[in-house]
Amino acid sequence: MNRRTHGLARHTALLTAAMLALGACTGAGSADDDLLAKAKAAGTIVMSTDPEYPPQSALATDGSYEGFDIDVGTEIAKRLGVEIKFETPSWEAITAGSWSGRWDFSVGSMTITTDREKVIAFTEPYYFTPAQMAVEADSTIASVADLAGQSVCVGAATTYQQWLEGTLDFGTKTPDVAPAGVEVVALTTDRNCAEAWQAGRRDFEGWLSSSTTVQGAIDAGLPVKQLGEPVFAEPLAVAFDRSGPDPTSMVTEVNRILAEMHGDGTLRDLSMKWFDEDLTTSTGD
Amino acid sequence: MASVGHHGQMQAPVDQVRIETSAAMVEAVAQSRRREQRRFRLTFVGTWLILCLLIVGGLVAANKIDLEFLGRWQQFILTGIPVTIVVSATSIAIAVVFAILGALGRLSPRPVIYAIASFYVSLVRGTPLIVQILFIYLALPQIWEGFAGVPTIVLGIFALAFNYGAYMTEVFRAGIEAIPRGQLEAASALGMTDRMTMRRIILPQAIRIVTPAIGNEFIAMIKDSALVSLLGVQELLWRAQRVGTQNFRALEALLVAAVVYWVLTIIFSVLQDRLEKRMAESDRRL
């Protein structure tokens, strides 16, 4: 009895101390106006990642993270001369901006879109993935056009959802128009769509995701097949929050690092390691 | 009684026999009842075991369970147990503080304090817990930036404590009201102030009265703590869900999480039962 009260008291004391310390931290502000300066001063940079997205990001059995995005983020931090840490918020929370400083950047295969540009500051693309439509292995649907009037599953707040809803805009060039009258089923993350099929659910006929994710499901033995050619190719970039400390100098610095990583073959090697193909140059279609 | 006195002398041997026979009968009845109880308990445990075996055996036999996956990931998922327990225990401890303050407020004769306490209870009980958790995580930092720096586990604990504190306010109020008025009068006769009476006489007894109820809330909290997985706190459910989706093994991962929550609640229910019995015993001694 006594021990337990002690335990509780200790927890409470620790928490109170933590809250006080945090309260003290937030009082500061002057040196935090520039993201790059802030990261260098702290010696760490926090990256957000969605570990339900292999081979870009996944959990290892020891609780660490692994994947293409994890390797790229780690290499960027190394070349910035800081330690990297990871946070795992939901994808929607990442693309919505207003990170409130909970994490500093996203190396999360985020597509550069005009919409996101309003709240997110992007670097140049670090790689490109084709968006691939998929159907169940025994489906009779023969082409993407046949999905008109059917329902298609996507990860919530992805470019795949925006494309189907007709709101996707890369700024530079517009992808082909999506099939008309598609009913969108948006789940928390892309893989949930394949999981639903795996569980025997027939709530939708198609699934739109990156070719790497679709391939991952096929490799895992799920009853999924690719449908036709990729529907569009996406430029994927490192992202920063516009509402936080000014990311301008950080974007410049990370752009320099990415150019370096493109140039010395680091990115190509990582792409070969995780995707078995080189996705680091624009498909140029 | 009266009739025994009347025929006392004459019927004594007969009564003796009757008493002996009835004693034997009582013993026999008691014995058969004990036997029945034991059989009941055995059947109960046996049925549970068979049900568990049927479910698990059925799933394994039907080749629905990937044992290799379980072997590889069980350690990672089970590492969430201490997180779940620490989150639940800390939340309950803080909820007790909220509940005491809430109860004192609800019993206060001062209208403003009573109103504030009632506002708290009404606000919390009138909104879903999941809305409160998301609000504290996503919305509060937009009101005051300082919240953004608070680690998500602290936010999660605060949200759970804030919620449970409101529900436990009523429990604590009942506990405080259960102290007989005579004790208040005695305390004031001894010259104690209201505050002293509350601190030295009422609260110690009230807390003791509501201890079993706190145990119940703790068990409920273990299950509700799964909601903080939404904030990325890496407790049991968060781990199970991520690993399940990542490997397309939702069945195995969620099964593990469900079994662990179940076992945890069973363990704490047994402990809670014992605590309740022990407290009831010492009450009898009083």
* Residue ranges of A 106-165 with Cβ closer than 8 A to chain B: none
In angstroms, rounded to a whole number, what is the distance separating the alpha carbons of residues A23 and A41?
19
The answer to whether A54 contacts chain B (CB < 8 Å) is: yes
Which residue does chain B place closest to A222, by CA atoms? B248
CA distances from A141 to A75, A148, A203, A229 (A): 42, 11, 15, 14
In angstroms, rounded to a whole number, what is the distance separating the alpha carbons of residues A88 and A47?
9
Which residue does chain A place closest to B72, by CA atoms? A61
Residues of chain B positioned with their CB less than 8 A from the CB of A220: 247-248
Which residue does chain B place closest to A86, by CA atoms? B232
In angstroms, rounded to a whole number, what is the distance separating the alpha carbons of residues A104 and A48?
8
Residues of chain B positioned with their CB less than 8 A from the CB of A51: 242, 246
What's the pLDDT at B207? 86
Q: Do B242 and A189 touch (CB under 8 A)?
A: no
- pLDDT tops 70 at residue A269: yes
A92-121 b/e with 16+ CB inside 10 Å = b?
A: ebbbbbbbbbbbbbbbbbbbbbeebeeebb
In angstroms, rounded to a whole number, what is the distance separating the alpha carbons of residues B192 and B214?
29
Higher pLDDT, B254 or B141: B254
Q: Do A199 and B150 touch (CB under 8 A)?
A: no
Displacement of CA B147 from its chain's centroid (Å)? 30
Reported as half-sphere exposure (CB side, CA atoms, 13 A), residue A19 has a value of: 12
- How close B31 comes to chain A (CA, Å)? 38
Residues pairing with A86 in the sheet: A47
User: B271 pLDDT band (50/70/90 cuts)?
Assistant: very high
Higher pLDDT, B278 or B88: B88
Match 């970039």 to its residue by tokens.
A237
Q: What average pLDDT does range A123-136 have in this prediction?
A: 95
Higher pLDDT, A141 or B141: A141
Task: Choose, out of B214, B245, B247, B272, the residue to mutate when testing the contact with A (most A CBs < 10 Å).
Answer: B245
Establish whether domains A35-128+235-275 and A130-233 are of one fold: yes
Residues pairing with A128 in the sheet: A235
The mean pLDDT of chain A is 87
- How close A27 comes to chain B (CA, Å)? 8
In angstroms, rounded to a whole number, what is the distance separating the alpha carbons of residues B222 and B85?
7
Q: CA-CA-CA-CA torsion for B268, B270, B273, B275, nearest 10 degrees? A: -70
Q: What average pLDDT does range B223-247 have in this prediction?
A: 93
Domain A130-233: CATH superfamily, name plus number = Periplasmic binding protein-like II (3.40.190.10)
Extract the tokens encoding B271: 């402990």
B→A interface, C-beta within 8 Å:
72-73, 75-76, 79, 86, 89-90, 93-94, 97, 138, 141-142, 145-152, 154, 157, 230, 232, 234, 242-243, 245-248, 250
User: How many Cβ atoms sit within 10 Å of the Cβ of residue B211?
Assistant: 15
pLDDT tens across A210-255, in order?
999 999 999 999 999 999 999 988 999 999 999 989 999 999 999 9
Which residue does chain B place closest to A221, by CA atoms? B248
User: A1 pLDDT band (50/70/90 cuts)?
Assistant: very low
Amino acid in position B101? L
pLDDT tens across B98-113, in order?
999 999 999 999 999 9
Extract the tokens encoding B68: 């290799």
In angstroms, rounded to a whole number, what is the distance separating the alpha carbons of residues A231 and A229?
6
Q: Do B242 and A52 touch (CB under 8 A)?
A: yes
Q: What average pLDDT does range B157-177 have in this prediction?
A: 95
**A222 closest CB neighbour out of B97, B243, B248:** B248
- pLDDT tops 60 at residue B2: no
Which residue does chain A place closest to B158, by CA atoms? A15
Helix (H, G, I), strand (E, B) or coil at A83: strand
Q: Do A192 and B245 touch (CB under 8 A)?
A: yes
- pLDDT tops 70 at residue B276: yes
What's the pLDDT at B256? 95
The mean pLDDT of chain B is 90
Q: Do B154 and A23 touch (CB under 8 A)?
A: no
Residues of chain B positioned with their CB less than 8 A from the CB of A18: 151, 154
Extract the tokens encoding B158: 């605060």
- pLDDT tops 90 at residue B24: no
- How close A180 comes to chain B (CA, Å)? 30
Q: Is the torsion defined by CA of A37, A42, A44, A47 positive or negative? A: negative
Which backbone phi and psi does A152 adopt, to 5 degrees? -130, 135
Contact assessment for residue A184 and residue A152, using Cβ atoms and an 8 Å cutoff:
yes
The answer to whether A88 contacts chain B (CB < 8 Å) is: yes
In angstroms, rounded to a whole number, what is the distance separating the alpha carbons of residues A179 and A151?
11
Q: What average pLDDT does range B235-244 have in this prediction?
A: 95
Q: What average pLDDT does range A121-135 have in this prediction?
A: 95
Q: Do A11 and B248 touch (CB under 8 A)?
A: no
- pLDDT tops 50 at residue B180: yes
The answer to whether A20 contacts chain B (CB < 8 Å) is: no
What's the pLDDT at A29? 42
pLDDT tens across A145-201, in order?
999 999 999 999 999 999 999 888 887 666 778 888 899 999 999 999 999 999 888
Q: Which residues contact A191 (CB under 8 A, 6 or more apart)?
A: A52, A53, A155, A213, A216, A217, B245, B246, B248
Helix (H, G, I), strand (E, B) or coil at A240: strand
In angstroms, rounded to a whole number, what is the distance separating the alpha carbons of residues A270 and A86?
19
3-state helix, strand, coil in chain A (%, to 5): 40, 25, 35
Contact assessment for residue A89 and residue A48, using Cβ atoms and an 8 Å cutoff:
yes
Residue in B196, B240, B213, B206 with CA at minimum distance from that of residue B76: B240
Parse chain A into domains and list their residue ranges.
35-128+235-275, 130-233
- pLDDT tops 50 at residue A144: yes
Q: Do A195 and B138 touch (CB under 8 A)?
A: no
What's the pLDDT at B10? 53
Residues of chain B positioned with their CB less than 8 A from the CB of A189: 245
- How close B245 comes to chain A (CA, Å)? 6
Q: What average pLDDT does range B214-242 have in this prediction?
A: 94
Q: Which CATH class is domain A35-128+235-275?
A: alpha beta
- How close B179 comes to chain A (CA, Å)? 23
What's the pLDDT at A283? 55
**B245 closest CB neighbour out of A87, A98, A189:** A189
Higher pLDDT, B267 or B25: B267
Contact assessment for residue A48 and residue A87, using Cβ atoms and an 8 Å cutoff:
yes
ipTM (interface predicted TM):
0.74
Helix (H, G, I), strand (E, B) or coil at A146: helix
Q: What is the 3-state secondary structure (H, E, C) of chain B?
A: CHHHHHHHHHHHHHHHHHHHHHHHHHHHHHHHHHHHHHHHHHHHHHHHHHHHHHHHHHHHHCCCCCHHHHHHHHHHHHCHHHHHHHHHHHHHHHHHHHHHHHHHHHHCCCHHHHHHHHHHHHHHHCCCHHHHHHHHHHHHHHHCHHHHHCCHHHHHHHHHHHHHHHHHHHHHHHHHHCCCHHHHHHHHHCCCCHHHHHHHHHHHHHHHHHHHHHHHHHHHHHHHHHHHHHHCCCCHHHHHHHHHHHCCCHHHHHHHHHHHHHHHHHHHHHHHHHHHHHHHHHHHHC
Residues of chain A positioned with their CB less than 8 A from the CB of B151: 18, 22
| Whether the model pTM is above 0.95 | no
